[in-house]
A and B are shown apart, each in its own frame.
Chain A
Amino acid sequence: MSKTVTRTRLAAVAAAATLVALAGCSSSAPSDKASAASCTPAKGKVTLQYWNTVPGMDKVVDLWNKKNPDIQVQTKNISNDQYGTLGNALKAGKAPDLAQVGYDELPALRTQNAFVDASACSAATAAKSKFVPWTWSQTSFGGTGVFALPQDTGPMALYVRSDIFKKYDIAIPTTWDEYAAAAQKLHKADPSLDITFFDPNNAEWFNGLLWQNSAQMYSYSGDKWHVTVTSDQSKQVADYWQKLIAGKLVRTDLANGSTQMYAAYQKDQIASYVGAAWGYSMFRDNLPKQSGKWSIVPIPTWGANGSSGDWGGSTVAFMKGSQHLYESVKFNTWLNSDPEALALENQLGGLYPAADAGLKLPALSKGVPYYNNEKVFDVFADSSRKINTNFAWGPTQKTVNLALQDAMAKAAAGDGTLTDALSAAQAAALKSMKAQAIPATAGK
């Protein structure tokens, strides 16, 4: 044994010494020129790589491949570890031509030099008119280029068990104040009944609520990022949920989409769900016995501020290193704005389209049997139009989200408050941006 030890130790020391020596010669800084993408059609047949996380996307791509023999697309499902897979591929210089990226991860990946600016292709810039405005401003970073095309969105709404509300003679709440009052009444009427649950492990959901209240967490001016996660708007949302948690009016032990969550709904322990458009199929598919009991209504508003928020949704990004920008733009535009493609994605993958054409799909204007034949997509379409266009994500969003979640969990367990969680997120944002050499400061 001891011989092996010495040998390993020697090898390690030698390796370390070499590496330190190697590290000494630092690479020179590259210039800040925007990557000069050209947009010329390829001669002959082209094969594109497209990585995504949507179930059934291979069928959509089959449709394209049948129609376009010269631009063939290969798909790979990376839903297992989406950003890990992408990050590693980028590091190895083997990124696909196109990849699915969530809106909140776009700035982070851009700071990792992950994208190519497709605005060299006139078809890419012309696509602007096809999409819901806020989705376009997020993929073009407020107009500095075209780095992705929007695919789907998650306009928020309130799912309610109308039968439970009726039973206790409580009106469906339209403002957050009414919602809190309803929470109290429901819990009083039946102590085992809560109005909803607060998932401490879901920063994305909480961010959607902050978004709804026009919280501006990141802006850029004077060569610096300005971090205001702890704005008054954010604090208003945090205080609101803190009161519900402290009053034990919402459950805090359930994770969104978990078996435990469905079990709680199944047992009639929870009367509503603050969700997004893509959630409509979750309830339909997991709680078939509650068909006809659910309604989808607009998300409660903050007084006179009638705006809505977005939870989730993705884009299809133009990845750096692609040799076929012209063809990528062509396929990407079709994938995310062609009515036939959008209808298939909605049917197979449950996607709620980001394209205006998608909001007018015949399939999305019919009544949905599970929801009493109500036209629930009208509610989402209305919500989609009311989403604040100026909302922007930070360049280290994942780190911030993790810090927020850790602190939200503490608050849910009675250790600190949700306002403290906002402070923790603010600190994490500044610290992580410093680590990435991104100049940032607190406050406006």
Chain B
Amino acid sequence: MTDIAPRAVTSGGRRRPGGGPRAGTVIAFLTPFFLPFVLFYLVPVGYALWQSFRVVRRTGGQYGTSYTTFGGFDQYTQVFQNSEFWNSIGRIGLFGIVQVPVMLFVALIMALLLDTPLLKLKAFFRITAFMPYAVPGVIAAIMWSYLYSPQLSPVVDLFQRIGLHPDFLGPGAVLWSAANVSTWLWTGYNMLIMYSALQSIPQELYEAAKIDGASNWTIAWRIKVPIIAPSIVLTTVFSIIGTLQLYAEPAVLRQISSNISSTFTPNMLAYAVASGNNYQQAAAISVVIAVITFVLSFGFMRLTSKKAGL
């Protein structure tokens, strides 16, 4: 923490060689950011870390009196030995490997279509595609759960009329039903990030390409996509983080499908453990999820930036 403020002062000094801004001004401008950052980010993270190194002990008797004490890496050993944890990571891995590419591919196609001069009613399509993002995840999941439910769904009804009996909530399908909700929610959001990147490409580039005889197709794949590659990387990183933190959609679908267990995703497992009063174990699970998220998202960034030289 202490290394940040002086650095800000130095960089300020570089910009204005006549004399640095007073420390008071800097503090005044930074406080609104750092105070909530410390209170609502660093402190909870620190608290979780602290909890994860503790274990419950209690004095004798049928109910005893509980207290916590330092337990070393006990909680972490338990996380690594917990098959439910690795099952949930595996499940979410499968989910991410399929859902993220599908979602981002669709988002990219939509962004490119929005960017073509051929498309009319751009504002309408843009807002329609983005609309699902405005719906809170829980509400979206409730909405979709009605569409999946054989008792209530007009969609299932329609399938049944043509002799098909899809079971969207069955053991094999429910993961993909949850994936569909996520895709529906986030495609428009990712599209908008890519579309904004497309908007910032200077028109002269296209003109030059056209003069060279490039088709719209070539322009899209040879010029637009490579230029917006950083935003595609960014949406991928967001999606990896989002996937590992998946909670709302499966938690809501769980209420109508018994094929989603209480340990379906890592976050659901952490929640289930915490609701059983085992806060220390839940903290350790959360820390491990955070580390895996960190490694995967920054690993992906490292990998792509090396490859593409971004």
Q: Which residues of A contact B (CB under 8 A)?
A: 1, 5, 7, 10-12, 15-16, 19-20, 22-27, 29-32, 83-84, 87, 91, 107-108, 110-113, 141, 144, 199-201, 220, 223, 225, 252-255, 258-260, 263-264, 395-396, 398-399, 402, 405-406, 408-409, 412-413, 415, 432, 435-438
Residues of chain A within 8 A (CB-CB) of B50 are: 19, 22-23
CB proximity of B56 to chain A, nearest CB, Å? 5
CB-defined contacts of A111 to chain B, threshold 8 Å: 58, 63-64, 66, 277
How does the 8 Å CB contact mask read for B14-55 relative to A, with 1 for contact and 0 for none? 000000000000000000000000000010011001100111
Establish whether residues A7 and B258, one from each chain, have CB atoms under 8 Å apart when the complex forms: no
Q: Which of B96-104, B118-126, B149-157, B210-218 contacts A (4 or more CB under 8 A)?
A: B149-157
Q: Kindly identify which residue among A108, A258, A406, A437 contacts B256, using a CB–CB cutoff of 8 Å.
A: A258
B63 touches A201 (CB 8 A): no
A141 to chain B, nearest CB (A): 8
Q: Other CB < 8 Å A-B pairs besides A255-B255, A396-B277, A402-B262, 18 of them?
A: A7-B3, A11-B42, A22-B50, A25-B70, A31-B59, A32-B64, A141-B62, A258-B255, A259-B149, A264-B151, A398-B277, A399-B278, A402-B275, A406-B262, A409-B259, A413-B170, A436-B66, A437-B64
CB neighbours (8 Å) of B55 from chain A are 437
Chain B residue with the shortest CB-CB distance to A8? B294
Chain A positions within 8 Å of B57 at CB level: 29, 437
CB contact under 8 A between A255 and B256, given known A111-B66, A435-B281: yes
User: Given that A30-B65, A252-B258, A396-B276 are contacting pairs, would A406 and B42 also be in contact in the complex, using a CB cutoff of 8 Å?
Assistant: no
B66's partner among A20, A26, A112, A258 (CB-CB below 8 A) is: A112
Asked, given contacts A20-B53, A29-B59, A436-B58, whether A409 binds B276 with beta carbons under 8 Å apart, the answer is: no
- Tell me which residues across on chain A come within 8 A of B261, comparing CB atoms: 405-406, 409
Q: Once the chains bind, are A398 and B70 in contact (CB under 8 Å)?
A: no
In angstroms, Cα B51 to Cα A100, docked, is 28
Q: How far does the Cβ of B99 sit from chain A's closest Cβ, in whole Å?
A: 23
Report yes or no: B255 in contact with A112, Cβ–Cβ below 8 A. no
B10 on interface, CB distance cutoff 8 Å: no
Complex Cα–Cα for A108 and B146 (A)? 35
A32 and B278 form a contact (CB under 8 A) = no
Q: What residues on B are CB-neighbors of A110 within 8 Å? A: 63
B208 CB contacts on chain A under 8 angstroms: none
In the bound complex, do residue A7 and residue B4 qualify as a contact, i.e. CB atoms below 8 Å apart?
yes
Binding site for A on B (CB under 8 A): 1, 3-4, 42, 45-46, 49-50, 53-70, 78, 146, 149-152, 169-171, 254-256, 258-259, 261-263, 272-273, 275-279, 281, 298, 301
Given the interface pairs A19-B50, A399-B278, A402-B276, the reply to whether A27 lies near B67 with Cβ below 8 Å is yes
Shortest B173–chain A CB gap in Å is 12
Cα A255 to Cα B277 in complex, Å, equals 25
Contact A263–B69 (Cβ < 8 Å): no
Contact (A29, B4) CB under 8 Å given A402-B276, A406-B261, A436-B277 = no
Smallest beta-carbon distance A78→chain B, Å: 14
Complex contact B42–A15 (CB within 8 A): yes
In the bound complex, CA of A91 to CA of B56 (Å): 14
Q: Name the residue of chain B whose CB is nearest to the CB of A402.
A: B262
Residue contacts A-B, CB under 8 angstroms, 5 given: A23-B50, A26-B70, A27-B67, A263-B151, A398-B277
List chain A residues, Cβ under 8 A from B272. Answer: 399, 402
How far is A35 from B149 in the complex, measured between Cα atoms in Å? 51
Distance between B306 CB and nearest chain A CB, rounded to angstroms:
13
A27 with B69, Cβ < 8 A, contacts A19-B49, A223-B60, A402-B276 known: yes
A201 CA / B264 CA spacing, docked (Å) = 14
Shortest CB distance B136–A (Å) = 15
A99 to B46, CA, bound (A): 30
Of all chain A residues, which has the CB nearest B78?
Answer: A435
Q: Which residues of B contact A12 (CB under 8 A)?
A: 45
Q: Which residue of A lies closest to B57 (CB)?
A: A437
Q: Are A398 and B56 in contact (CB under 8 A)?
A: no
Q: How many angstroms from the CA of A113 to the CA of B170 in the assembled complex?
A: 41
Determine if A398 and B276 form an interchain contact, defined as CB atoms under 8 angstroms apart. Answer: yes
Contacts of A199 in B (CB 8 A): 258
A252 to B169, CA, bound (A): 12
Complex interface: chain B residues within 8 A of A26 (CB): 69-70
How far does the alpha carbon of A16 sit from the alpha carbon of B49 in the complex, in Å? 7
Q: B residues within 8 A CB of A223? A: 60
Q: Could you tell me if B59 and A201 are in contact, using CB atoms closer than 8 angstroms?
A: no
10 shortest A-B CB distances, which residue pairs? A399-B276, A409-B258, A32-B59, A200-B258, A26-B69, A260-B151, A263-B151, A406-B261, A402-B262, A23-B53
In the bound complex, residues from chain B placing their C-beta under 8 Å from that of A253 are 150, 169, 258
- B60 in contact with A32 (CB, 8 Å): yes
Given A15-B49, A402-B272: A5 in contact with B278 (beta carbons within 8 A): no
- Asked whether, in the complex, the Cβ of A201 is within 8 Å of the Cβ of B278, the reply is no
Specify which of B65, B263, B277 lies most central, judged by the most chain A CB atoms within 10 Å of its CB: B277
**A113 contact set on B, CB distance < 8 A:** 65-66
Residues of A within 8 Å of B53, CB to CB, are 19-20, 23
Chain A contacts for B78, CB-based, 8 A? 435
A413 to B258, Cβ gap below 8 A? yes
Q: Across the interface, which residues of A come within 8 angstroms of B276, CB to CB?
A: 108, 396, 398-399, 402, 432
Q: Is the CB of A11 within 8 A of B59?
A: no
Give the shortest distance, in Å, between A3 (CB) and chain B (any CB): 10
Q: In the complex, what residues of A have CB within 8 A of residue B277's CB?
A: 87, 108, 111-112, 396, 398, 436
Residues on B with beta carbons closer than 8 Å to the beta carbon of A5:
298
Does B67 contact A24, Cβ atoms closer than 8 Å? no
B70 touches A201 (CB 8 A): no
Residues of chain A within 8 A of B66, CB atoms compared: 111-113, 436-437
Residues of A within 8 A of B146 (CB): 259
Cα A22 to Cα B46 in complex, Å, equals: 11
Residue of A with least CB distance to B61? A32
Residues of A close to B278: CB separation below 8 A = 399, 432, 435-436
Residues of B within 8 A of A412 (CB): 258
Chain A minimum-CB-distance residue to B263: A406
Q: Within the assembled complex, what's the spacing in Å between the Cα atoms of A83 and B67?
A: 20
Residue of B nearest to A18 (CB): B46
Residue of A nearest to B43 (CB): A15
Query: With A and B bound together, what is the CA distance between A398 and B278 in angstroms?
Result: 11
Provide the bound-state CA to CA distance between A396 and B274, in Å.
12
Which residues of chain B have C-beta atoms less than 8 A from A436's C-beta? 56, 58, 66, 277-278
**Chain B residues within 8 Å of A437, by CB:** 55-58, 64, 66
Chain B contacts of A201 at CB under 8 A?
254-255, 258
Q: How far is the CB of A137 from chain B (nearest CB, A)?
A: 14
A205 to chain B, nearest CB (A): 13
Docked complex Cα distance between A139 and B97 (Å): 50
Contact A220 B62 (CB under 8 A): yes
Minimum distance in angstroms from B144 CB to a CB of chain A? 14
